[in-house]
Amino acid sequence: MIKNSVFKKISLMILLIMMVGCVPMSEAVVDKKAASVAEKTIVRKEREKEKLAEERNKKKAKDYKLADEQILHLSGRDFYSFDPNNGYASSFNLMNLIFPGLTRYDTESGDFLSGIAESWEYSEDMQTWTFNLYDDIAWVAYDDETKAVEQVLGEDGEPVYVTSFDVKARILKILSSYYYSSNSYILRPIVGSEEFYDYGDEGDLEIETPSDTELIIHLNEPDSGWLAFTELTAFSAYPAWFGEEVNDGTYFYGPYVPTTSFEIAEETYSISLVKNPFWMGTGGLSEPYLDEIVFDLSDDTDVLEAFKDNQLDAVQLTYDEYQLAIEDPELSDYLVDADSNFGYYLFFFNSDLEPLDELEVRAAIAKMVDRDELLSALPELEGISNTGIIPDFMRAEPFSGGLSGSVDSNLVDEYGLPTFDFTCFEGDTCRSIYEVLNAQIVDQSGWYFELWEKTYASLFDDMEEGAMFNPGLLLMAYSLDSNDQMSLWDNLIDSIAFIDQQNKRWVNKEFEALYEQAKAEPDKEKRAELFSQMEEILVNGDVMVIPLFWGQEHWLVRFDVGADIQPLYQQLENWARIIP
């Protein structure tokens, strides 16, 4: 039986495709408070000067020659939600600028730097994490009359700053079953999260807030990849000082602030972000280059024509748009390819049944898969061949494994024509991949896989109830939940896709031990070595998974835009208008 089914269903759906007592600060109050705020800022600057110098210099090391105008026009047509409790995928491009989390991923070093948390530490068993928040990250609001970002004042007339209570308030909101947040699965590792989700008793949730700046989170098990999750909006701040019904589109604190409410943005199909003058920068989120970012939210915009007309400066393309751009001399030179956030894999299931219970049979099937032929036959998949569990861009060296070579004809003769199933979520992608792969296997062995297309609900239920009777292959897409290899391994192991590992039809003690070691290993290089050993077992040793390909994205980006396109979300604070 699979545990935590509610959280698993939410997680799998995600993998498949928030004024009483607070007013904006008036000009008079700004003058009154200027001295105290300035003094506090000076103290902060001195305290951080040495600490931030290296990180900021590194972020500015792109040697940008900045243009005079720092305004960028982007497409937000595929934003999933403006709600930070549900924001996902491309929505992070906006949400992580206005509601940054505790940490921030550094794309150059692969380390996690400070977001709204100045520092952190963890217990020896990596199950208790203590975050120390900056004490002067101000809550702000955009005043439509003054056209300016202004600090928010409390009932005492003092500026209101982000506290540990605000971060806890966000976590409580996401975990509340009342909101049924799609991001609740991210918080599942916290002790008491499921009990709080089921019963709503805050006492069940093991999160402590000893002071305004100290946040302590207790986990159910060691998690060396936890910092990668704490950069997400699930660990952003929610104004606990306001009450439960405050609109998430009213108060902000990140390096950028929207100039219109989310409701108006949805009606006008456009939203602008302006630089927050009260954001002083942190180790991982320095002061940004751009003064303003404008998102076109319309689904109806012809992005190719908009790019030609200088209405968009960068946009991710669909497959059909990409094909048109390739053939258009006005656009083709602006095309940029980048790694996406998902990949496709084949999982053996019912591997204890004949003939899949024989390693040489699973290895033979893996050898028959020709990834290059698959991608050539189906260019709309927009992928690059992937022979390892982890895509190459997340590893120090490319994976050199993956079974290949001819199949022993005697092996085929020995097992005859067994009954195999090929199971996947219903749809064109499922059928197309099946047709190519099945033809490859039939041509080389005569072994035929029968196609079983399932709805999400039926596939989950069949796997949970053990209602898949024949041995076969399950096609699944896996996406990154965070900027760390650990999240991909967690999704693979703790999911319905790797059903034989879940129901103990396949057991490998060495693999399990390596996984537990990786969960408790804080050193990322040592952790990567453990992952490599796990990968070797799954792909080449026991042959339980056949990686197929990792997705690619295609963008149009102007020459005068400095942009480093990332798989999970775009760190737009590092983008700039430049002089080429």
Strands 449-454 and 420-425: parallel
Query: Which structural domains are found in the chain, ordered by start?
Result: 5-17+19-313+558-577 (3.40.190.10), 339-553 (3.10.105.10)
Query: Rounded distance, CA 101 to CA 482, Å?
Result: 12
Give me the phi and psi of 14, to 5 degrees please.
-65, -40
Helix (H) or strand (E) holding 100: none
Query: Rounded distance, CA 574 to CA 59, Å?
Result: 7
Q: Which residue has the tokens 């509340």?
A: 176
For residue 252, give every residue at least 6 positions away whose Cβ sits within 8 Å of its Cβ, in sequence order, or none: 98, 99, 139, 140, 141, 142, 258, 276
Query: Rounded distance, CA 142 to CA 275, Å?
Result: 11
For residue 350, give every residue at least 6 positions away whose Cβ sits within 8 Å of its Cβ, in sequence order, or none: 356, 468, 469, 470, 471, 472, 500, 505
For residue 532, give every residue at least 6 positions away whose Cβ sits within 8 Å of its Cβ, in sequence order, or none: none
pLDDT for residue 61: 47
Do the Cβ atoms of 21 and 239 come closer than 8 Å? no
In order, the DSSP letters of 117-152 are EEEEEE-TTS-EEEEEE-S--B-EEEETTTTEEEEE
Residues 2-15 pLDDT 10s: 344 444 444 444 44
pLDDT for residue 89: 75
3-state secondary structure 178-242: CCCCCCHHHHCCECCHHHHHHHCCHHHCCEEEEECCEEEEEECCCCCCHHHHCCCHHHCCCCCCC
pLDDT for residue 312: 98
pLDDT for residue 515: 96
What SS3 class is residue 521?
coil
In order, the DSSP letters of 541-568 are IS--EEEEEEEEEEEEE-TTEE----SS
Q: Which residue has the tokens 């906006």?
A: 94
DSSP letter at 292 equals E
pLDDT for residue 268: 87
Do the Cβ atoms of 159 and 61 come closer than 8 Å? no
Query: Rounded distance, CA 248 to CA 211, Å?
Result: 24
Query: Rounded distance, CA 534 to CA 516, Å?
Result: 11
DSSP letter at 537 equals I
Residues 318-340 pLDDT 10s: 999 999 999 999 999 999 999 99
Label residues 404-434 b or e (16+ Cβ within 10 Å = b). eeebeeeebeeeeeeebbbbbbeeebbeebb
Do the Cβ atoms of 159 and 152 come closer than 8 Å? yes
Helix (H) or strand (E) holding 168: helix 164-175
Do the Cβ atoms of 170 and 237 come closer than 8 Å? yes
Our CA dihedral for 256, 106, 16, 537, rounded to 10 degrees, sits at -170
Query: What is the Rg, in whole angstroms, of the alpha carbon atoms belonging to the chain?
Result: 25
Helix (H) or strand (E) holding 387: none
Query: Model-level pTM?
Result: 0.86
DSSP letter at 393 equals G
Assigned token pair, 206: 């093991």
Query: Rounded distance, CA 433 to CA 375, Å?
Result: 9
Q: Which residue has the tokens 């709503």?
A: 200
Assigned token pair, 553: 């994205």
Give me the phi and psi of 459, to 5 degrees please.
-65, -45
Residues counted in the chain: 580
Query: Pick from 521, 121, 60, 13: which is nearest to 288 by CA?
Result: 60
In this prediction, the residues of the chain whose per-residue pLDDT falls under 50 are 1-45, 47-49, 51-61
Query: Rounded distance, CA 348 to CA 536, Å?
Result: 16
Crossing angle between the packed helical segments 524-536 and 509-519, to the nearest 10 degrees: 160
Q: Which residue has the tokens 């506090």?
A: 40
Query: Rounded distance, CA 80 to CA 297, Å?
Result: 11
Furthest C-alpha separation in the chain: 89
Query: Rounded distance, CA 534 to CA 510, Å?
Result: 8
